[in-house]
Chains A and B, each alone.
Chain A
Amino acid sequence: MARFIVRRTLSAIALIIAVSIVVFGIFEIIPSYNPARAIAGRAASQTTVNEVARKFGFNRSLPVQYATTMKLIFTGQVIDYQYDLNVVDQFRQRFGATLSLVIPAGILWLLASIVLGSISALRVGRVIDRALMIFAIVGVSIPIFLLAAVLLYLLAFKTNVFPNTGYVGISDPIQWAYHLVLPWFCIAVLSVGFYSRVLRSNLLDMVNQDFVRTARAKGLPPRQVFTRHVLRNSLMPIITMFGLDFATLLGGAALVTEAVFNIPGVGQYEAQAIGNLDVPPILVGAMFTGFFVVLFGAFADIMYALLDPRIRLTG
């Protein structure tokens, strides 16, 4: 088991390096003209552009460029050119708000999926199962920003059930939660439908498995058969999937949700930068998201190994 963890961590590190190379490549190799100009921003003067070129090492060889860029990022010397702020500082300050958004949303999403998926597997073919199916398919057809807009319009503007965007720090828990309910709901709702369908499908497959038949033949009470055998075995793929999707959440859904709901998190910063075609925050954002994905992937794999004894030994 320890060996497995070590190996997985090592491959995660390798992946992180790969991610950094790819992101570097996107920004500094692909664009067909001077990447310094891209980083400096559209409105930059030639002097600024030259300065950037020197700072990032664009007139040196590729490996040196890469090393320099990485150093700049990690020592927090990358400045965005729209507002002249230190990108890494901004990320650090805003990370808390983003966590407030994604973590409870993720928990909500996972729990709701398990509950709804179980219910619809137990009530196959009935109304609630069909309703969930519709819910799932509609859920993956709506972009989050649209749902956010609609909810805001209906629940915050036209009526006053929820506050009209904005964010309150966690020091005031009630207001904090109150302001975040709609965004949490948006994020969770769109994926819950799909996840519960996957769980439902796993559960239904599981129910036909031989060992479930054995469990029933042993005379175990149905609830026990379901939770100890069926659910337990069905959850594992869900958890791995969730690990990866949660990381993806940060890179996409969180972005637009923060933008629409005006939550001062990392996503909002990135969204603004995109709108202004301001490269440095996007560069750093992509890099960090990539790292996060790798980490979460490794974490999910390790979790899976912990839960499934068959994997532990073969490692």
Chain B
Amino acid sequence: MAAERLLEVEELKVSFVTEDGIVYAVDGVSFTLDRGEVVAIVGESGSGKSVTVMTLMGLTRGPNSRFEGSARLRDRDLITASEAELRRIRGKEIAMIFQDPISSLSPVHRIGDQIVEQIRAHEDISKAAAFDRAVELMERVGIPRARDRARAFPHEFSGGMRQRAMIAMALSLSPSVLIADEPTTALDVTIQAQILEEVKQLRQDSESGVIFVTHDLGVVADIADRVIVMYAGRVVEQGTLDEIFYDPQHPYTWGLLGSVTRMDRDPPRRLPAIPGQPPSLVHPPQGCHFRPRCPHEFEHCAEVPPLEARVPEAPDHLDRCWLEVADKRARREVEGRIGLGTGSVVA
């Protein structure tokens, strides 16, 4: 049974006009999201992952923003929708959880009231009814003594509780798409685990599609169905969780995987980091954006590699690397594990 296609992003480009030039934050990103699946978007700071999801919510619009491409939520294009339409969609059909719950909640309003606010912005129900619903939601995400705590202020909550409250708020109108922008980055590992459980739970319960933005591969391995890897504004690889973790096709992905410790292997002598810095998005490099840091680059890399399926058995596993598949599989084995390597093929 084919799951309903919720979101279809096609060649999305987002750029900002600034004092120092035009920042090409997102340079042609395409992906889809179906009901019930979790898509993780992975990348470092500056990769464009946050801008991409913010753009879906229309939060990057401004006098200096320029957009190309489309992002269709069912049958409506979020990029060209009017502000009024977008406002109706936000919070109701597509909701977002942000990274830092203490700054993402208004300090002067009670938690319960903030949830009520969202509900009443879209539904015509009484304050009391909305408040009841808010309390229910808070209970659902595991906040104890929800009725009392709903009258508390954000600073009276612990970090984990705050994030749960944000999740409750995001879920209040049963959105089809839930975007989580690094929701666990600002939290302890133990709390992180709890929040991830919540996300998994709600994927099961509410059958929304979830877009989970993160830089943490461990989190990705835990909850994702599909993974999109972004670098310097472009998608460099995307596929299922297995495809990405077991058959990564792009050197950047190898680098990411190589820098994560794994419990099932011996720890390496040194955790390899990817040398160099992400490029300027004002003056991006010619051709493949990763080329300056890639030990495997060659002349063809001066031409932008198209995002294509190159692995014959995996038509939905896309990547942007000119290397032959066999070549890739050889080059990515470094000291018995996947890594970026130094360029020369291990004999």
Contact = CB atoms under 8 A, between A and B. Distances in A.
A217 B96 contact: yes
A309 B90 contact: no
A213 B57 CA distance: 10
Given A209-B103, A211-B107, A220 B59 contact: no
Interface string A201-234: 0000000011101111111111010001100110
A219 B89 contact: yes
Interface in B2-59: 57, 59
A171 to B, nearest CB: 43
B259 interface: no
B240 interface: no
Interface stretch (B70-78, B114-122, B276-284): B114-122
B323 interface: no
B87 A221 contact: yes
B11 to A, nearest CB: 24
B108 A232 contact: yes
A221 B121 contact: yes
**Chain A interface residue bracket vs B:** 20 to 34
Nearest to B113: A228
A307 interface: yes
A210 B98 CA distance: 8
A3 interface: no
Nearest to A309: B153
A310 interface: yes
B91 to A, nearest CB: 3
Contacts of B308: none
A34 B104 CA distance: 64
A308 B59 contact: no
Interface string A299-315: 00000000111100100
B227 interface: no
Contacts of A221: 87, 121
A214 B108 contact: no
Contacts of A222: 87
A220 B95 CA distance: 12
B88 interface: yes
B153 A219 contact: no
B100 A219 contact: no
Nearest to A213: B59
A308 B104 contact: no
A309 B121 CA distance: 24
A210 B103 contact: yes
Nearest to A211: B106
A219 B98 contact: no
A209 B105 CA distance: 10
Given A210-B100, A217-B95, A218-B90, A233 B118 contact: no
A220 B121 contact: yes
**Chain B interface residue bracket vs A:** 20 to 34
Contacts of A210: 98, 100, 103-104
A308 B107 contact: yes
Contacts of A213: 59, 98, 104
A21 B153 CA distance: 43
Contacts of A220: 87, 91, 117-118, 121
Contacts of A219: 87-92, 118, 121-122
A217 B106 contact: no
A209 B92 CA distance: 22
Interface string A230-255: 00110000000000000000000000
Nearest to B86: A219
Interface string B274-293: 00000000000000000000
Contacts of B153: 309-310
Nearest to A215: B106
Given A219-B87, A310-B153, A310-B155, A214 B105 contact: yes
Given A219-B91, A220-B117, A309 B104 contact: no
A149 to B, nearest CB: 44
Contacts of A216: 59, 90
A143 B95 CA distance: 53
Given A216-B59, A217-B59, A220-B117, A229 B91 contact: no
Of A218, A222, A228, A310, which is in contact with the most chain B CB atoms at under 10 Å from its CB? A218
Contact of B108 (A217, A309, A313): A309
A217 B121 contact: no
Contacts of B117: 215, 218, 220, 224, 228
Contacts of A233: 106-108
B138 interface: no
A216 B118 CA distance: 10
Contacts of B95: 217-218
A211 B118 contact: no
A221 B122 CA distance: 10
A287 to B, nearest CB: 38
Contacts of B57: 217
Nearest to B109: A228
Nearest to A214: B104
A310 B57 CA distance: 30
B121 A218 contact: yes
A124 to B, nearest CB: 9
B150 interface: no
Interface of A: 209-211, 213-222, 224, 228-229, 232-233, 307-310, 313
Given A217-B59, A217-B91, A228-B109, 8 more contacts: A211-B103, A217-B95, A228-B117, A232-B106, A309-B107, A309-B108, A309-B155, A310-B155
21 contacts: A210-B98, A211-B105, A213-B59, A213-B104, A214-B105, A214-B106, A214-B166, A217-B57, A217-B90, A218-B95, A218-B121, A218-B169, A219-B87, A219-B88, A219-B90, A219-B118, A219-B121, A220-B87, A220-B91, A222-B87, A232-B108
